[in-house]
Amino acid sequence: MRRNSWLALFLTVFCFVLLPVFAEAAPAVLKLGDKGWKVKVAQQKLNIVGIKTETSGSFSQETEKAVREFQKKHKLKITGLLDDRTYQRIINEAFAREGIRGVKGSDIVRTA
């Protein structure tokens, strides 16, 4: 096999086999003081579902309060932390308001 073929094979295996394992190994819990794209997306989606908060990408006290409100409203454990379960629920609720009724974002990703 030529060098390019080996490289292509390695990248394929890495992307489809190893990368998902590493990505799921340590679910991130976002909290007060954290920053990043995931915080910003959660903030934007919270606004879509009617819970007003800033959209700075910085997990502030205002964001923590909004997460707590969302958790209470949707009968999740009220921690104020943006864990994977809370994040996915926020995304799904926003998608239900924005997107096609009866279709979950995870269904679209799975189909793709």
Rounded CA-CA distance 85/79 in Å is: 12
DSSP string, 40-85: HHHHHHHHHTT-----SSB--HHHHHHHHHHHHHTT----S-B-HH
**CA 110 – CA 83 distance, rounded (Å):** 22
Q: How far apart are CA 93 and CA 89, in angstroms?
A: 6
Q: What is the mean pLDDT of each run of 10 residues along the chain (112 residues)?
A: 58 54 62 94 95 95 96 95 95 84 68 70
Please give the pLDDT value at position 16: 54
Q: Domain 27-111 - what CATH class?
A: mainly alpha
Q: What is the pLDDT of residue 27?
A: 57
pLDDT attached to residue 109: 72
pLDDT at 98: 79
Q: What is the predicted pLDDT for the residue at 59?
A: 95
Q: Half-sphere exposure of residue 109, counting CA atoms within 13 Å on the CB side?
A: 4
Owner of token pair 């909004």: 66
pTM, to two decimals: 0.66
Domain boundaries, the chain: 27-111
